[in-house]
Amino acid sequence: MRVLVIGAGPAGTRCAERLAERGAEVTLAGAEPALPYDRVALGRVLSGEAEVRALITHDAARLRALDIRFRAATRIAAMERAAGSATTARGETIVWDRVVLATGSDAVRLPLPGAELPGVFVYRSIADVQAMRRAVSGGATAVVIGGGLLGLEAAAALSMAGARVIVVHALGWPMERQLDPVAGALLARQLGATRRLRFVMPATTEGIEGDHHVRALRLADGSRIACDLVVMAVGIRPAVALAREAGLQVSRGIVVDDAMRSSDARILAIGECAEHRGVVCGLVAPALAMAEVAAATLLGEQRAYAARPDTAALKVSGIAVWSAGEIAPPDAEAVTLSDEEAGFYRRLWLRGGRLVGAVLYGDTADAPFYLDLLSSGRPVEPFRARLAFGAAFAEAA
Ligand SMILES: Cc1cc2nc3c(=O)[nH]c(=O)nc-3n(C[C@H](O)[C@H](O)[C@H](O)COP(=O)(O)OP(=O)(O)OC[C@H]3O[C@@H](n4cnc5c(N)ncnc54)[C@H](O)[C@@H]3O)c2cc1C
């Protein structure tokens, strides 16, 4: 069986590996010039803590040992379903019996005036990080648009690399999708104190000024922030163009069933480009779980993908913040344990006697306990009075 895996991110690489281990003839085509690498760890290169080569997960020797035909810098431009072939951007033809689409996401670029100026970046790939590192050398002022998980990670890394960093965020507190306002305020305070990040929020960006290079960010209230570089960390969009042009069913992502099959059973989709039961994932754990299921499907095994609740943890050392499930749903009861002065805060949301969401700040050791309650839907009534104190107290009850 000749399998063409399109996209050499974590999902595509994992699937290729599983298939090759079991004897499939696998071609892994990746648009990026690099060997497969750990995208999650890009912040360590941006901050200067690690070299690019430390991120490589599959070097040439390992790919050879697995007998995977790896094609770097190979963008697949079209899929010819009737012919069972694909065409690369350079015009070569690759023949397949099965395809795994693992094209991931593209970082969103805000369509602001000035967005195309040199000095405006997104944060997604090795190439992005290398370009940002060149721009911050010598001490620069960086504006990060977007105070979500990725924006804060970029901001902390740029600060570590020597830049003065200002985070411009549309909402009143950072990570608003994962945190309630209290935890968000604690986070902004701690990032200001320990990473020297300055927050401008809520604020709407209106344009980027400069002639041949970025000079300032202009806000909707008319104010300007002078800067040398702008990083847009405002979200991702599933990369579905190839699938759409091939006539596959695409909604927000490429629509797949529990076995990861697209609307054409010979073509599977996994990772951030796939949409399973109406949900598109944005984290590496579900992307890898989908890769395992897709490999099993192609090997003729029965395996169904089951989504788990998303969890969010910020990778900035010294900052302990974690959340999962529904955050501040209006129809839920809330339980709070808080010592804001000490930087400790915990808020849990319950509905029908079950945990539906949790935010932990300052101490995240109990995250596995709350995640288990969320995933299993186990009733919490028997130990509700002790629930906020964590596993040791609740389970003792
Ligand atoms: C800086 C950063 C930090 C992150 N931190 C975390 C974290 O802490 N925890 C977490 O869970 N997740 C994190 N993520 C998200 C995580 O990286 C993604 O969920 C994961 O990479 C998704 O894997 P994927 O294989 O589906 O897609 P991707 O990693 O996007 O890989 C897709 C690959 O396909 C290639 N491609 C696209 N189109 C084509 C084509 N037509 N032909 C050939 N190749 C193509 C792309 O170039 C890309 O290399 C982070 C992401 C970034 C950018």
Does the pLDDT value for residue 40 go beyond 90? Answer: yes
Task: Concatenate the DSSP letters of all residues of 154-185 into one string.
Answer: HHHHHHHTT-EEEEE-SSSSSSTTTS-HHHHH
Read off the DSSP letter of residue 40.
Answer: G
Q: Kindly indicate the confidence band of residue 229, based on its pLDDT and cuts at 50, 70 and 90.
A: very high
Alpha-carbon span 69 to 266, nearest angstrom: 20
Ligand 1 neighbour 76 (Cβ under 6 A): yes
55 CA from centroid of ligand 1 (Å): 13
Residue 1, exposed/middle/buried by CB under 10 A (0-12, 13-18, 19+)? Answer: middle
Q: How far is CA 274 from CA 88, 100, 186, 277, 287, in A?
A: 21, 11, 35, 10, 9
Q: Kindly indicate the confidence band of residue 65, based on its pLDDT and cuts at 50, 70 and 90.
A: very high
Ligand 1 neighbour 104 (Cβ under 6 A): yes
Ligand 1 neighbour 146 (Cβ under 6 A): no
Alpha-carbon span 35 to 54, nearest angstrom: 11
Q: What is the pLDDT of residue 396?
A: 77
| Cα-Cα-Cα-Cα dihedral sign, residues 5, 9, 11, 17 | positive
Q: Kindly indicate the confidence band of residue 397, based on its pLDDT and cuts at 50, 70 and 90.
A: low
Ligand 1 neighbour 6 (Cβ under 6 A): yes
**How confident is the model over 87-112, as a mean pLDDT?**
98
- Please name the helix (run of DSSP H) or strand (run of DSSP E) that holds residue 187, with its range, or none: helix 181-195
Does the pLDDT value for residue 157 go beyond 80? Answer: yes
Radius of gyration of the chain (CA): 23
Q: Kindly indicate the confidence band of residue 39, based on its pLDDT and cuts at 50, 70 and 90.
A: very high
Ligand 1 neighbour 105 (Cβ under 6 A): yes
32 CA from centroid of ligand 1 (Å): 11
Alpha-carbon span 163 to 151, nearest angstrom: 15
Return all residues near 273 (Cβ < 8 A) that are at least 6 apart. 7, 101, 102, 103, 104, 105, 238, 239, 240, 243, 253, 254
**How confident is the model over 22-49, as a mean pLDDT?**
97
Return the best residue to mutate from 103, 254, 305 for the ligand 1 pocket (most ligand atoms within 8 A of CB): 103
Phi, psi of 301 (to 5 degrees): -95, 155
Q: What is the pLDDT of residue 395?
A: 79
**How confident is the model over 385-395, as a mean pLDDT?**
92
Ligand 1 neighbour 79 (Cβ under 6 A): no
76 CA from centroid of ligand 1 (Å): 16
**How confident is the model over 225-245, as a mean pLDDT?**
98
Closest residue (by CA) to atom 7 of ligand 1? 40
**Which domains does the chain possess?**
2-106+236-298 (3.50.50.60), 120-232 (3.50.50.60), 320-396 (3.30.390.30)
- pLDDT tens for 245-295 read 999 999 999 999 999 999 999 999 999 999 999 999 999 999 999 999 999
Helical pair 284-298 and 10-21, crossing angle rounded to 10 deg: 30
Q: What is the pLDDT of residue 313?
A: 86
Alpha-carbon span 392 to 386, nearest angstrom: 9
Return the best residue to mutate from 5, 94, 283 for the ligand 1 pocket (most ligand atoms within 8 A of CB): 283
**How confident is the model over 119-130, as a mean pLDDT?**
98
Ligand 1 neighbour 42 (Cβ under 6 A): yes
